[in-house]
Amino acid sequence: MAFVTCIAPVNIAVIKYWGKRNEELILPLNDSISCTLSTEQMCARTTVVASTRYNENKFWLNGKEENSNSPRLINCIKDIKEKAEKVESEASKLNVHICSENNFPTAAGLASSAAGYAALIAGLASLYGVKGDISAIARKGSGSACRSVLGGWVRWHKGELADGSDSIATEIAPASHWPEMRILILVVNDARKKHSSTSGMKQSVKTSAFLKYRVEKIVPERTDQMVKAIKTKDFETFAKLTMQDSNQFHSTCLDTYPPIHYMNDTSHAICDLVHAYNNIKGCNKVAYTFDAGPNACLYMLEQDVPEFFTLIMNVFPSDLDSVEYVKGMPLKVSVLS
């Protein structure tokens, strides 16, 4: 018997991935950029055990047995076993039992599958002695998972090749590059989302003309601008691009037919508050971004946290399920309520 436990954090996209050009290989229509949180908060912890006694693969998520025949899970295990055969790993010939737990709401639009698949693939790679890039395998579990296998600021390149071998994640800058950066996560609702990102994306690719426009005309230039803003630590530009991209992703969801709504009234009120605050300050002090759910991720610099945090707690005393303060880069976390 051999076993390994891995921890992988969620990542928060500032240039969003939305739409696939190949469903099976999970190849995206556009590049995306995110920041991976620290391993101390919002993580998936996954244990993988390989044994001669197991006659099938099994998988538990948060203590409940899940379908281990999901094509994505099968694909990931198959890919990593192929790599393991090249290094003649004995463990790779055995079946595995996988046990994964998230320390934050699962499937509530907080990138739980990204953390989960990143931890699983890192665990399998370590168990089987596989070295080198594992982002292309994690990508086949959940697209955004490829960004969680690296720390700091990460770019997922859409790639050009039909087999997806160049659709990988690379580091833009390490976690230590922007030590003043902080993230506040406002958990507006921790329930499971109505539309999975998989079904939402499929619907958008089929019906939204705006998605095509976004992918071809907006994201390529915006991605370059974002890389530059991160590298030069230009918060003003970083914040503007982050908010614009979140808004455009949710506009694409609305342009989808039938439309998809991930944000709710509290989410919209948070956007208004951020713009009002930035307006009073005369520059961008805070940036919001929302994934496939109503929960807000707010980027800001450490010096601005106390004032903005107090404001949030006064304006939304009872609307939020919880507030998580991600003291970032390296991100050390304390849960405040």
Binding site for ligand PMV (CB under 6 A): 13, 16-18, 32, 111, 113-114, 142-144, 197-198, 291-292
Nearer to ligand PMV, 38 or 295 (CB): 295
Q: Report in angstroms how near the CB of residue 200 gets to ligand PMV at its nearest.
A: 8
What gap in Å lies between CA 189 and CA 219, rounded to an integer? 29
Q: Report in angstroms how near the CB of residue 109 gets to ligand PMV at its nearest.
A: 7
Partners of residue 183 on adjacent β-strands: 299, 326
Q: Count CB atoms within 10 A of the CB of residue 68.
A: 17
- SS3 for 271? helix
Nearer to ligand PMV, 146 or 305 (CB): 146
Nearer to ligand PMV, 41 or 113 (CB): 113
What gap in Å lies between CA 83 and CA 316, rounded to an integer? 50
Backbone angles phi, psi at 156, to 5 degrees: -95, 115
Q: Report in angstroms how near the CB of residue 159 gets to ligand PMV at its nearest.
A: 15
Nearer to ligand PMV, 79 or 291 (CB): 291
- SS3 for 159? coil
Q: Report in angstroms how near the CB of residue 280 gets to ligand PMV at its nearest.
A: 30
Nearer to ligand PMV, 123 or 200 (CB): 200
Nearer to ligand PMV, 42 or 305 (CB): 42
Nearer to ligand PMV, 18 or 238 (CB): 18
What gap in Å lies between CA 3 and CA 325, rounded to an integer? 33
SS (H, E, C) 85-144: HHCCCCHHHCEEEEEEEECCCCCCCCCHHHHHHHHHHHHHHHHHCCCCCCHHHHHCCCCC
Task: Calculate the alpha carbon distances from 315 to 98, 141, 270, 312 in Å.
Answer: 42, 39, 9, 5
Q: Report in angstroms how near the CB of residue 292 gets to ligand PMV at its nearest.
A: 4
| Of 147, 123, 124, 159, the residue nearest 22 (C-alpha) | 159
Alpha-carbon dihedral 100, 106, 110, 111, rounded to 10 degrees? 40
Nearer to ligand PMV, 49 or 76 (CB): 76
What gap in Å lies between CA 139 and CA 3, rounded to an integer? 23
Q: Report in angstroms how near the CB of residue 198 gets to ligand PMV at its nearest.
A: 6
Q: Report in angstroms how near the CB of residue 29 gets to ligand PMV at its nearest.
A: 11
Q: Report in angstroms how near the CB of residue 161 gets to ligand PMV at its nearest.
A: 20
- Polymer length in residues for the chain: 337
